[in-house]
Structure 1
Amino acid sequence: MLFKDIPGLESIKSTLIRSVQTSHLAHAQLFDSAPGGGGLALALAFSTYINCTNRSEEDSCGVCASCAKMNKLIHPDFHFIFPIATSKKIDGKTSEAFLSYWRSFILESPYRLLPEWLDYISAENKQGNIAVEEARGILRKLSVKAYEGEYKILLLWKPDIMNASASNALLKILEEPPFKTIFLLVSDQSDRLLTTIISRTQRIAVPAFSDKDVRTFLMDHTVSESTAKHITYLSDGNLSEALQLVKETGDDRSGWFIEWMRSCYKYDVAHLVKFADSFDGMNKEKQKGLLDYALRLFRDMLVWSHGAGELLRVPEEELTFVQNFSKAVNFESLENMIQEVNVAYYHIERNVRAKMVLLDLSLTIAHFFQRR
Structure 2
Amino acid sequence: MQFSEIIGLDETKQLLLRAVQSNHLAHALLFDGPTGSANLALALALAQYVNCEDKQREDSCGRCASCVKVQKLVHPDLHMVFPVTNQGKGKTSETYLTDWRKFLLSSPYRTLPDWLESVGADNKQGNISAEEARNILQTLSLKAYEGAYKIMLIWLPELMNVTSANALLKVLEEPPAQTLFLLVTNQSDKLLITILSRTQRVAVRAFTDEEVATYLRQHLNLDETTARRMAYLADGNLAEALRLGQLDTSSTPSAGPDQHVWFAEWMRTCYRQDLIALVKQADQFDGFSKEKQKGLLDYSIRLYRDLFLWQQGAAELLRLPDDEMAFVKNFAKILTINHIERIVHDLNEAAYHLERNARAKMIMLDMSLTFSRLIRT
TM-score by length of structure 1 reads: 0.74
User: Per-residue displacement from partner, 1:136-181 (whole Å, max 9, x unpaired)?
Assistant: 213333x24x51x333322233444546665455343344433333
- Specify the structure having the higher radius of gyration (Cα): 1
User: Counterparts of 1:123 and 1:55 in 2: how far apart (Å)?
Assistant: 40
Residue of structure 1 in register with 2:376 after alignment? 367
Counterpart secondary structure, 2:153: strand
Residue of structure 2 in register with 1:32 after alignment? 32
User: Per-residue displacement from partner, 1:62-84 (whole Å, max 9, x unpaired)?
Assistant: 33322221111112332223445
Residue of structure 1 in register with 2:137 after alignment? 136
Q: Is the CA contact 1:28–1:174 (under 8 Å) kept in the aligned structure 2?
A: yes
Q: Which runs of 5+ in 1 are unaligned?
A: none
Specify whether residues 229 and 353 from structure 1 end up closer, same or farther in structure 2 by C-alpha distance, changes over 3 A only: farther
Specify whether residues 140 and 359 from structure 1 end up closer, same or farther in structure 2 by C-alpha distance, changes over 3 A only: closer
Residue of structure 1 in register with 2:154 after alignment? 156
User: Per-residue displacement from partner, 1:87-122 (whole Å, max 9, x unpaired)?
Assistant: 32x25x654343333322322333345565455555
Q: Is the CA contact 1:134–1:166 (under 8 Å) kept in the aligned structure 2?
A: no
Q: Is the CA contact 1:80–1:95 (under 8 Å) kept in the aligned structure 2?
A: yes
User: Counterparts of 1:344 and 1:177 in 2: how far apart (Å)?
Assistant: 39
User: Counterparts of 2:191 and 2:41 in 1: how far apart (Å)?
Assistant: 21
Q: Is the CA contact 2:346–2:367 (under 8 Å) kept in the aligned structure 1?
A: no
Residue of structure 2 in register with 1:296 after alignment? 302
User: Counterparts of 2:161 and 2:296 in 1: how far apart (Å)?
Assistant: 34
Specify whether residues 110 and 326 from structure 1 end up closer, same or farther in structure 2 by C-alpha distance, changes over 3 A only: same
User: Counterparts of 2:183 and 2:62 in 1: how far apart (Å)?
Assistant: 23
The residue correspondences of 1:193-272 to structure 2 (distance < 5 A) are: 193-210=191-208, 212-214=210-212, 216-222=214-220, 229=229, 233=233, 237-240=236-239, 249=254, 251-254=257-260, 267=272
Question: Which of residues 360, 364, 369 is equivalent to 1:351?
Answer: 360
Specify whether residues 128 and 243 from structure 1 end up closer, same or farther in structure 2 by C-alpha distance, changes over 3 A only: farther
User: Counterparts of 1:229 and 1:343 in 2: how far apart (Å)?
Assistant: 34
Residue of structure 1 in register with 2:315 after alignment? 309
Q: Is the CA contact 2:343–2:371 (under 8 Å) kept in the aligned structure 1?
A: no
Give the residue type in structure 2 aligned to 1:350: R
Residue of structure 1 in register with 2:186 after alignment? 188
Aligned residue pair count:
359
User: Counterparts of 2:193 and 2:176 in 1: how far apart (Å)?
Assistant: 22
Q: Is the CA contact 2:153–2:181 (under 8 Å) kept in the aligned structure 1?
A: yes
User: Counterparts of 2:353 and 2:179 in 1: how far apart (Å)?
Assistant: 47
Question: Which of residues 106, 109, 114 is equivalent to 1:108?
Answer: 106
Give the residue type in structure 1 aligned to 2:60: S
Residue of structure 1 in register with 2:250 after alignment? none
The residue correspondences of 1:2-13 to structure 2 (distance < 5 A) are: 2-13=2-13
User: Counterparts of 2:82 and 2:61 in 1: how far apart (Å)?
Assistant: 27
Which stretch shifts more, 126-135 or 13-22? 126-135
User: Counterparts of 2:261 and 2:99 in 1: how far apart (Å)?
Assistant: 38
Alpha-carbon shift at residue 190 of structure 1 (Å):
3.5
Q: Is the CA contact 2:3–2:59 (under 8 Å) kept in the aligned structure 1?
A: yes
User: Counterparts of 1:276 and 1:176 in 2: how far apart (Å)?
Assistant: 54
Give the residue type in structure 2 aligned to 1:64: C
Residue of structure 2 in register with 1:284 after alignment? 288
User: Counterparts of 2:294 and 2:171 in 1: how far apart (Å)?
Assistant: 41
Specify whether residues 5 and 304 from structure 1 end up closer, same or farther in structure 2 by C-alpha distance, changes over 3 A only: same
Give the residue type in structure 2 aligned to 1:136: L
